[in-house]
Amino acid sequence: MSRKPRDIKSGYCYHITTRCNNREFRLTRHECRQVFLYALKKALEKFNFKLYGLCIMSNHCHYLLEPLQPEELPKIMHWLNWYTAMCFNRMLNRTGHFWEKRYHSSGFETTDYQRALNTLRYIHANPKTAGMKKGFFYDFSNYGTHDKLTTDGLTQWHPAFLSLGKSLEECAARYRGFCKKYKPATKQSKSYHWGSKLLPKVVKSKQKKKTSPGQMRLPWDDWEVAHTEVQDVAQKFVMANCYDPKVAMQFF
């Protein structure tokens, strides 16, 4: 069966979700997240799109972006997913698909400010909803740029955020209050099926996988020590968005 074509229109923003294959928690390592941010920087330079929202979770990632031209959205995501998959497979000594299926996208007019604010809040609330954080501050989302009015080197404010007040301080205060009113939807209870009781007993092989000789050599092959350019991009983003810079700096 052929894939359903995406509804891509001019003047639209897109809420994009990408998930690790098999929903595995492959994005937990700090080094992987640094490379992820660096890949986004490269993608922004290559395609010149607008990135309004970002949240990197342990097994998936959310974006709110606006391509320069609507037909460039698939090119952006293809390049970004290809580049990050190549890097992560090399870093984690694995092969095969890194990302699950196609990315999910939901588009709406950039001028639909209420939809944009709801989407931004949903993206920024992900760590809180998952029980990872009590509040909205999270090192790997751009909520901090909205609350503290900082610049992280990757994202920018959506016009909807800038419409919240007559000054940036008023915009930040109103968005902060808007986020505090967020109530996550109740998750459905887990469904059980034949074989569910056996799944926890399955033990995965811990044998080290061999790297393919055909894989591209990356500048951070010795990735236990982060590449300087990669680290600089990640540090700027994290410092702009974290709650406590002293704690966040311990990872750099």
Candidates 9, 19, 104; CA nearest to 64 is: 104
pLDDT value of position 142: 98
Q: What is the pLDDT at residue 192?
A: 52
CB burial of 131-147 (b: ≥16 within 10 Å; e: otherwise) equals eebeebbbbbbbbbbbb
Position 190 scores a pLDDT of 55
The Cβ-side half-sphere exposure at 70, using a 13 Å CA radius, reads 13
Q: Which H or E element spans position 56?
A: strand 50-56
Tell me the domain boundaries of the chain. 12-185+220-251
How distant is the alpha carbon of residue 26 from its chain centre? 13
Please give the Cα distance from 116 to 15 (Å, whole number).
9
Distance between CA atoms of residues 164 and 183, nearest Å: 20
CB 55 within 8 A of CB 139: no
**Residue 213: its pLDDT value, please?**
38
Nearest by Cα to 159 from 64, 45, 46, 40: 64
The CATH code belonging to domain 12-185+220-251 is 3.30.70.1290
Number of other CB atoms surrounding residue 10 within 10 Å: 10
Cβ proximity of 56 and 33 under 8 Å? yes
CA distances, 110 to each of 10, 65, 128, 156, 182 (Å): 9, 10, 26, 14, 22
pLDDT in tens, the chain (252 residues): 456 667 788 899 999 999 988 877 888 889 999 999 999 999 999 999 999 999 999 999 999 999 999 899 999 999 999 999 888 888 888 888 888 888 889 999 999 999 999 999 999 999 999 888 889 999 999 999 999 999 999 999 999 999 999 999 999 999 999 999 998 876 665 555 555 555 454 444 444 444 443 444 454 444 444 578 999 999 999 999 999 999 998 888
Is residue 16 helix, strand or coil?
strand
CA distance 165 to 184: 26
CA distance 112 to 118: 10
